[in-house]
Structure 1
Amino acid sequence: MKTAAAPGLRHSAIDAMRGIAMILMALDHVRDFVHADAMAFAPGDLSRTSIATFMTRWITCFCAPAFLFIAGLSAQRRLAHQGCARGVAKFLATRGLWLILLELTVFRFILDFRLLGGNPLLVLVLSALGLSMLALAPLVAVLSARTIGAIGLAIVLLHNLLDPVQAAHWGALAPVWLLLHQPGAFGIAGQVVVVGYPVLAWFGVLAVGFAAGSLYDAGAAKRRHVFLAAGALSLGAFVVLRAVNAYGDPSPWSVQATPAFTALSFLATTKYPPSLLFLLMTLGPVLLGLAWLERHPLSISHPLVVIGRVPLFYYLAHFLLAHLIASCLAVARYHDVRMAFFSGPFPSLGGSREAFPPDFGWPLGVVYLAWFGVVLALYPACVGFDRFKGRYKDSWWAGYL
């Protein structure tokens, strides 16, 4: 009789799915730095966007939900591997704080090459993940994975009921609501804090992912079946609820001038914060992708797996490389090394439009070439960093990289 393998931290399907998300994510961020239209309008603005620009942005919408869901899976696999709920809770809390610190320091510098100078503090995906881990930590110590998953699912399904509540209703506690559910800005000790990723719905995704991690204690066939069924149900629910236009997203779709743009309106769900329909639309393919990767496992040396094994390194490095490429393109075009091209945010990232030439930015084709260059350049770096982590995998600090 075959015996079950001891639960481990690594599964190639999980790493490969995360690798796919990381590669697609780079396309969106390269677009932010390079694309001319990114300097002028949001890609989801149907009055100004093109189909190509919209879809370039839309295909990357899967990344953040995949990242949070897989982070939950990984947390549960750590618990299954270590068997110590308090130890995992401590790890989640400290890693959460570490991610927040990185976003407020290292990532802040990478984004605009400044540490000082009145830059706002940004609550983006690393902080959302960090805060979600901080929220998950005490629950892991006292609740079962199934209960945590039920809490997360309830948040995902019901959080849009909170949309009518505005931060202004909270008075002095308005910043709490901004951090939980409503994008916006507030001041603290003279510092502006901009919340782009309110954490409530993202915590729900993390918690659902944590519960789903228990499937890796079951057989691969059962896991595939559950992921397939859940993915199909998610996409089916998205189509039905979106068609009804009654609940699940604060921005209803509408008939546009052409059928193609009507379809874009149907797909244009809300990411900040992620609506129920946005999460159904994006997590459905993630679940189907996990099921497919279970049936077609990749080797640990496959590029998708390698990149998926070093997500934090890749995340910071690809932002740095995208920024450098955009700055070098600017110098090559304008023969001007003014610090406006290197220090301070680009117009698409909150910078002053007046500080840049009126024709600043490049066509979408350049975006795709730059994206290909970023991924190609980072792959050998990811291989080396993965090997470095492997040499020190038993060190306490390795899990924070």
Structure 2
Amino acid sequence: MNRIAAIDWLRGIVMILMALDHASAFFNQGRVANDSIVTHEVGSGFVVEQFFTRWITHLSAPTFVFLTGTAMALSIMQRREKGMHSKAIDRDLLIRGAFIALLDIVVFSFMSGKLYLQVLYAIGVSLMLMTLLYRLDRRVLLASALILLCGGEAFTVLFWQPHGEVPLWLALTFAPWFSESFTVLYPAIPWLAIMMLGWVFGDWLTTRAKNPWSVMRVLLIGGSLAVVCFLLVRGFNAYGNMLLYREDYSIIQWLHVSKYPPGISYISLELGLMAIMLAALLWLQPKIVIRQYGPILVFGQTALFFYLAHFAVLTMLTLFLERAGLGQAYLAATITLAVLYPICCAYRALKWRYPDSVLRFV
């Protein structure tokens, strides 16, 4: 199966949004990032442009993790078709997962001056666990993922006091932990469940790739149902919001959902929007010429490399740009994308030239 441009486009779009969010963290003095009951002060207001700049980037992490599961399913099918042994496939998954998790545990923690577990930790652990899970029946995986996502809050709040001590096992699996020496932003299990959903979609896609209309129909129905789920959960303003409740009926309060840890309202909204966007991109794909050097496609096909490299570029930009307002963040993001585009083109060419090298893990 050839690469599906729509998936690469969507991944590229969310990488651009992620670059904007991290540029905001580096250069925006007024950045809003209180997407957790732990960090949000009830009753505090929001600067509209700051809130929506942060909010549009919420799409990045769930989409990236979901599409990692999808790409894994498509890749394993291709490798099986080429006669690759299951043990070799599992070994590569374990190595890639361990490598990605160690980037957070070692590299980014060293840069932060403390143990700091972010999205790479969650992705790496999830990849390693998927070596055990992907052999399960597709329906079992789907049901298990939904149980984890829908029941995760009930389990989490049994042990989690948002402003109290968090046991290490809980911080690594379900609940975030913020401290001066140890921070967990992405406990692994909710993100594993999202990756499982991505795997289920990818596995199903291998049987429907020649019928794009059925794929688009499922994405539109599933995405619409997920958005309805968001509206119901946010409307009832009780279970499913990870204790970050709506304080009034303003649009900002409807959209101010918990990412740390991800509540049902957050996951259903972001995955719903993702599914609708993917359906639109699949509809668009046969109607336009796919430009192999289009920036969005290039960024989507080099996503992990892009993730690592954009931090280096943002760090270098601190030598030239100061922290200022929101405009500074957009400027830094634009410069970062311009710098990374030729680098990502060169990296993609190198990786494609040596498909069996260690570059396949990045």
Q: Does TM, normalized by the shorter one, top 0.5?
A: yes
Residue of structure 2 equivalent to 1:103:
104
Alignment pair present for 1:243 and 2:239 = no
Residue of structure 1 equivalent to 2:167:
174
Choose from 53, 57, 62 the match for 2:59.
62
Residue of structure 1 equivalent to 2:122:
128
Choose from 310, 319, 329 the match for 1:367.
329
The C-alpha deviation readout for 1:128-148, integer Å capped at 9, x for no partner, is 1001111111112x4133322
Q: Distance in 2 between matches of 1:269 and 1:167?
A: 18
Choose from 195, 211, 215 the match for 1:223.
215
Structure 1 residue 287: Cα displacement = 0.7
Residue of structure 1 equivalent to 2:305:
313
Structure 1 residue 85: Cα displacement = 4.2
More off after superposition, 225-234 vs 83-92:
83-92
The C-alpha deviation readout for 1:116-165, integer Å capped at 9, x for no partner, is xxx2111100011001111111112x413332222112212221112322
Q: Distance in 2 between matches of 1:299 and 1:391?
A: 19
Structure 1 residue 41: Cα displacement = 7.4
Choose from 184, 190, 193 the match for 2:182.
193
Q: Percent identity?
A: 29
Residue of structure 1 equivalent to 2:198:
209
Q: Distance in 2 between matches of 1:165 and 1:87?
A: 40
Choose from 145, 148, 157 the match for 1:152.
145
Residue of structure 1 equivalent to 2:254:
266
Q: 1:48 to 1:245 in 2, by over 3 A?
A: closer
Report SS of the residue matched to 2:69. Answer: helix
Q: Is the 8 A contact 1:78 1:88 kept in 2?
A: no
Q: Distance in 2 between matches of 1:85 and 1:76?
A: 13
Residue of structure 2 equivalent to 1:115:
none
Structure 1 residue 196: Cα displacement = 1.2
Choose from 113, 117, 131 the match for 1:137.
131
Matches within 5 A, 1:271-350: 271-297=259-285, 298-330=290-322
Unaligned 5+ segments in structure 2 are: none
Residue of structure 2 equivalent to 1:335:
none
Report SS of the residue matched to 1:165. Answer: helix
Residue of structure 2 equivalent to 1:49:
46
Q: Distance in 1 between matches of 2:291 and 2:139?
A: 31
Q: Distance in 2 between matches of 1:316 and 1:41?
A: 21
Structure 1 residue 36: Cα displacement = 1.2
The C-alpha deviation readout for 1:168-191, integer Å capped at 9, x for no partner, is 8xxx9921111111111689xxxx
More off after superposition, 67-76 vs 218-227:
218-227
Q: Distance in 1 between matches of 2:92 and 2:145?
A: 20
Q: Is the 8 A contact 2:109 2:117 kept in 1?
A: no
Q: Distance in 1 between matches of 2:280 and 2:174?
A: 33
Residue of structure 2 equivalent to 1:351:
none
Q: 1:237 to 1:81 in 2, by over 3 A?
A: same
Q: Distance in 1 between matches of 2:147 and 2:276?
A: 22
Specify the code of the residue in structure 1 equivalent to 2:270: T
Structure 1 residue 167: Cα displacement = 5.3
Q: Is the 8 A contact 1:123 1:196 kept in 2?
A: yes
Q: Distance in 1 between matches of 2:346 and 2:59?
A: 27
Choose from 334, 338, 353 the match for 1:376.
338
Report SS of the residue matched to 1:236. Answer: helix
Structure 1 residue 195: Cα displacement = 1.1
Residue of structure 1 equivalent to 2:360:
399
Specify the code of the residue in structure 1 equivalent to 2:346: G
Q: Distance in 1 between matches of 2:293 and 2:58?
A: 27
Specify the code of the residue in structure 2 equivalent to 1:178: A
Residue of structure 1 equivalent to 2:93:
92
Report SS of the residue matched to 1:122. Answer: strand
Q: 1:195 to 1:266 in 2, by over 3 A?
A: same
Q: 1:21 to 1:241 in 2, by over 3 A?
A: same
Q: Is the 8 A contact 2:16 2:337 kept in 1?
A: yes
Residue of structure 2 equivalent to 1:385:
347
More off after superposition, 290-299 vs 145-154:
145-154
Specify the code of the residue in structure 2 equivalent to 1:123: L
Q: Is the 8 A contact 2:70 2:201 kept in 1?
A: yes
Specify the code of the residue in structure 2 equivalent to 1:265: Q
Specify the code of the residue in structure 2 equivalent to 1:128: A
Structure 1 residue 300: Cα displacement = 3.1
Specify the code of the residue in structure 1 equivalent to 2:201: A
Alignment pair present for 1:164 and 2:135 = no
Q: Is the 8 A contact 1:53 1:364 kept in 2?
A: yes
The C-alpha deviation readout for 1:210-257, integer Å capped at 9, x for no partner, is 0000232212111111111111111111112211112211211022xx
Superposition CA RMSD, Å = 2.3
TM-score normalised by the chain length of structure 2? 0.88
